[in-house]
Chains A and B, each alone.
Chain A
């Protein structure tokens, strides 16, 4: 009986997303920051190509290089994901929304479906733009989209962005608000995860963190760039990220179901 109204719920959530200013600026930032800082890094690499050792040349991953800016671009994606869910709580809209759609499962997954789909579209646009611009700048060191595993990595970049956004939505639902969620997620993905992944002592388990594992899908040369090897492949890594995200989203759903609005 409620299944029939699910398109209505999707429609409603789409209206909610497109009618607030934060959607435009977070998603635009995700794209601009990723493409811009990736291009800048590619320009640096291109200029210093001659200084590379043969070993470095061998493990250089031009595809991955054109996605480096995602480290910063993903922060805007996190903010997008958090705000989509969190502003329901901070504005008090949640009570109005749930009075209109009292079935928590329809409300929550309707919202997540629409927001994740939008994040995926923007994520794919970002990764394709970032890739092609990066390859143009890299010149001699570039690869084509038809190269082995390259298309997988570029599509993977979009999937990664969407998954980061979805993960953030789950966290915001667990914390029932925006501020705390942003204060936890940004430092984690910007600093903590990178430190843990960069230090040999902690790398063994840090490779299973959602962003570290998920980012492997953008790698074409195994063990390339950062020189780390993992116990899983690109899809295995993305699978780990999906499991993390599924756990957080489920947690968010249970909080919404059990707690008073």
Chain B
């Protein structure tokens, strides 16, 4: 269990991380999501005690990172691909890390094998491609066979094969019951791997909820209806108290918040021919963008407003959001 409490980091006048409080629960994959520059990497560096917080604390099973006697056995982390000495071989880069935490040397060969770098174990790591560097970084994270793993943007810059590999690796590690905390700026990537989500924007907590809740609360679902008798259909819907939006481009009606079953039955009752009756779901990517765009707008309009969205007892409720999102929504629609 990792607990962040009021974690704040300022670089001069800029606040990179702003009173961030959340918990990384054991045994699940937690996705740490936010646009570029939201403060994800800074937060992760503070979790590993690499950067000193301006205020607030991070505790790992109740302890500061610095108090862990041999931290690689608790937490393995991949921060960026190129954080090894290029003049040293892959094997030796891992060996010196293993020795510092009294991890047996045979483990070095094991993790190299696990990430598929055995063939280049004796090669200097400066010649490695981004993907190989990423694999070496993951090997170092796995070295101490840790309960908790942290990956900062692991799929960044990887080819599809590499992305698939990392995705499967994370799934495998999660199925062993490990705690995984992985950052990304791609919602679609998270949707495939994470069970829990922590979303930040401009250093502030925007959401801390399960993936299922996020999907339910954030993705706009509606039903699309097409009918040759559209005017009649509209009247019927109106009588039933259902508001429909017509989309001239497709000639369809879009209805929010009513189940498709009910709409179908309603049409049948009035003997209206339907050419389409389909439940639609806005993509998660879109929902995520709407959520983080809100945070940008929120800050632009009201800098320094009290951070009601950021506390642990009161995680931001996406239900609160639409008022702020209206502007973005309008712009998005206008742009289409």
Contacts and interface: CB of A to CB of B under 8 A. Distances in A.
Contacts of B99: 8, 11-12, 15
A83 B131 CA distance: 28
The dominant DSSP class at the A interface is helix
B84 A260 contact: no
Contacts of B49: 98, 102
Contacts of B51: 260-261
Interface residues of B, number: 35
A202 to B, nearest CB: 40
A99 B88 contact: no
A100 B71 contact: yes
Interface string A244-261: 000000000000001011
Interface residues of A, number: 32
Contacts of A20: 85, 87-88
B101 interface: yes
Q: Is the interface of B mostly helix, strand, loop or mixed?
A: loop
Nearest to B82: A92
Interface in B16-72: 45, 48-52, 65-66, 68-72
A102 B68 contact: yes
B149 interface: no
Interface in B86-135: 86-89, 92-93, 95-102
A4 B69 contact: yes
Given A2-B69, A19-B92, A260 B83 contact: no
Interface string A85-124: 0011001110111111111000000000000000000000
A57 interface: no
B69 A5 contact: yes
Interface string B276-301: 00000000000000000000000000
B85 A103 contact: no
Contact of B66 (A92, A102, A260): A102
Nearest to B83: A92
Contacts of B97: 12, 96-97, 100
Interface of B: 45, 48-52, 65-66, 68-72, 77, 79-80, 82-89, 92-93, 95-102, 140
6 residue pairs, one from A and one from B, having the closest CB atoms: A12-B100, A12-B99, A19-B92, A260-B51, A15-B96, A92-B83
Interface of A: 1-2, 4-5, 8-9, 11-13, 15-16, 19-22, 87-88, 91-93, 95-103, 258, 260-261
